[in-house]
Structure 1
Amino acid sequence: MTDTIDPAQLWLGAFVGAQVLLLFSCVIKANAYGERALLLHAPATLMSVLSVLSMIGRQPLAPTAVLLLVPALAGVQLMDLMSHASEVRQARRWLFVASAILPVLALGAIYSDWALVGGVVLWTSVVLLVVVRGWRQSRPWNWWLLPALVALALASFRLAADAPPYDIEDALWQAGLLAVWAACTYVATDWRGRIVGETRARVLGRTTTDPLTGLATPMVLSQRVQAARNLTRRYGHPSVLMIVNIDNLGALTDEFGPEAAESAVLAAASRIRGSLLRDGDVAARLTHSRMGVLAEGCAPAQAAATVASRILVAGLKEPLPAAKAEYLHFRIVMTAVPPGEVEPIVLLQKLNTRLDQEVRGASERRIVTLSQDELSDTPKTLR
């Protein structure tokens, strides 16, 4: 004769087992695909399992204290999930503070359930603020955060309302609600990871070469400027960023037509590429009439005397193939790559602004070097 199994025990085992499976899945996927958010979800899920186990039998752990560690770790994971949303930067700081306070409240929850209530109310309020502010930038995966948040809040308030000793029904409700939280958060995290992975694949899959000129793309130039700035900051290795403008491209278009202008752009790209001295130098096409050049390993004075001068001479060395009596007239604005936190796109914008001023003023200077003080005073305007 066999004993009948209590269905509550089966459901309890199923809910706890589901969380354990999610825990292993998080660790495996995080290591396989480099998903940090999944790796952060693993310890939070482990704490939820321990909070359920602490309600069963004679466990030395206080369920209320262990449960407060779940939102503490979940808050750190949510900070990583919302790292893409620019509108939640300040709210993410508040979430970090709230998550840091919860372990302290967990010690108080050993003696009073009100510490659990206060911690959950504080954490839920900050999380709602983060989710609402980053809602537009987090769709569609953020819909799964709502049932997860509700389930975790219900589990916390229900545990605070119950008084020990806890029976199997209390543990079942706790395991079910926490399983819903863990599963919904896992789905949201995995969905967001897929979106980020696809975006990363598209970015990496972009061509790194301009199809018209064969030069690098602005994205590649920005990455190289970032790398050059790191070298400058760490080792004092200087680099110079310059923008080359084809001054007479408009006149060539008016006189000889767009085909001659396109041929002039190709010739300009070829001559700029041939003027580079080092393997680490890179040239990129920014606009139809402007090229960006990064010269590594040289200061502005040296770059002006070598790379910039070679570019000017290359433009005047031979006439254009499509206009035998015309030459390329270049104008260059350059500056040293600053070691400070200046985004490459901002640096290019400031150089473009100064180059616009030189072109409008019809200055006789063909090479203009901006000091760091002049660079900081130049307004940022999109061309």
Structure 2
Amino acid sequence: MPFFVPVGRRLSAALGLCLALLCLPAFAIDAAPADADPAPIALDARRATISLDGRSQQLLDPTGALGIDDIAAGPPGLNWRLRGAGERTVLSGQTALWLRFDVLMRDTQAHWELELARSGTDAITMYYRDAQGQWRVQRAGDRLAVSDWANPDRYPVFSLDVRPDETVRYWVRVEHARVPFSGVFQLHDHNTLREQRIHQQFVLGAYFGMALLLTVVALANMAVFRDAAFATYAIYISLLGLSMAASLGVGGQFLWPNLVRWNQEAEFVLLPLMGLVGLMFVRQVAQPRRIGRTLDRLCLALAAAWLIGIVWDQSLPSALSLQALSALGTLSMLTIAAMLGLAWRSGETWIRWFAVSMVPVLLASTLPVLRNFNLLSSNFLSQYGIVIAASIEAPLLFYALLMRSRIQHETQARAHALERTEPLTGLTHRPHFLLRLHDSLVRAQRYGHHSALLLVHLHNHAEIAARHGREVADRALVIAASQLRAVARDVDTAARLDDDSFALLIEGPVKPDQVLHTATSLLANGLRLSPRLPAGTTLRLRVVAALLPDADSELAQDAAAHLEWMRQGMLTLSEEPRKAILRLNF
């Protein structure tokens, strides 16, 4: 049995383990009925935050028809029971959830407030009687514009009455369709809550600022590298940021405070769209069609199902449509895990960085699914898990995309370079060199200076090939090309003209001594032993040098004619075996 399990199976196993661990709380919640009303909650300076878990009672109104007067009158048959920690309640149809708790205000110097530490609640209303016995009502929830809330905030916040040493009873009515309701009710003094909000807004501002910056940088990289993956990433990171803004209440507070309808539906639209774009983004980068068409076709089928599901959920919203979207989310996460596992097996460094970067968000995305299936209560992890995961993902994912684009760009650059360079040595090929030589002749005549041209011949190339084979002969050509580049300046041009001949164009103004020094350096470098050649093998070079343009020549600006002139000089030099450098006109 092999030691290593395929990575795709390991990712799926890890995902399943996390799902199992997150589901454990579902079996641990058992709210016991209350035998008596809990004692009033004393508010004093000793505690700045108090949870209502175990200190409040709850009641389900199946018809939603009971009003505050009916609830306050306390008719027989109302089954109030203690509300425990982590309670989840399914409010189907018109069902409403009522809570009640008593407060004994002892710290009248502080302003106390009730907070529901979650956003996305359809409607939440708090009632209490003032000192004159009149009802005071405060409202919040997605059915109202945030600007119309009792206290506009990310989460529903209600002000408590200030009556020293007097017990005041408060009632809270909650309406929340389709998604099981769970949330922590807490009492804070005003200063503590404001300080908590400042810290939260600072962290969230850092995340949303990073998301905006990454979107802009991704679009810039798309324009520079012409890489569609950056465009898809920009859409993905934008939808991820907007989804988090909707689910954390930031959108309703700052982005669309007066759009009531959109505030109700934003989370149900943006999260599925983020899942759809995330699926297509991974498909575009991982390219499962390289391995097989089955997974690729599954991605396309899921994308179509996502679109149908979103339209269905917006046209005929119901618990069934939401569960269908949640099921699609589960299938998409498993498909993404499979694609990442298959991509990992390719062994490429950048794709492994990409796979690792996607894992945190992939795992955190299970939290909304578990919540929708009533397997997880609303808590810190379920609210901020994706934000934390996205903050981990962003730098790793962007690094992987940059590495991928760099590799692709280098490949494209090498392919583009073949249009003007020859593949073995990387030197300029003959056609492009003729253009450079022509331009150099034009400049030299215009400005009245000399440039120089060196024709270099590897005299023992055929001998090396016959003795050591073609591979060693090609290696000798590469070494000769590197030596040519070593003596060339940035403005000079080195080229390979044919099997064993090179040329070096030295841009002017240039002096005869400089040309002779360059030719001599080439000869000396060639005679040095190289560890990349067989023992005792050296490069025997022959060099023909000329200053351009030639005052006594009629070649004018004809680059090909100048090369032919140099070739004739090389034929003359080959007749003198003891001579290695021929100067044509200086």
Normalising by structure 2, what TM-score? 0.33
Structure with the larger RCO, 1 or 2 (CA within 8 Å, 6+ apart): 1
Normalising by structure 1, what TM-score? 0.48
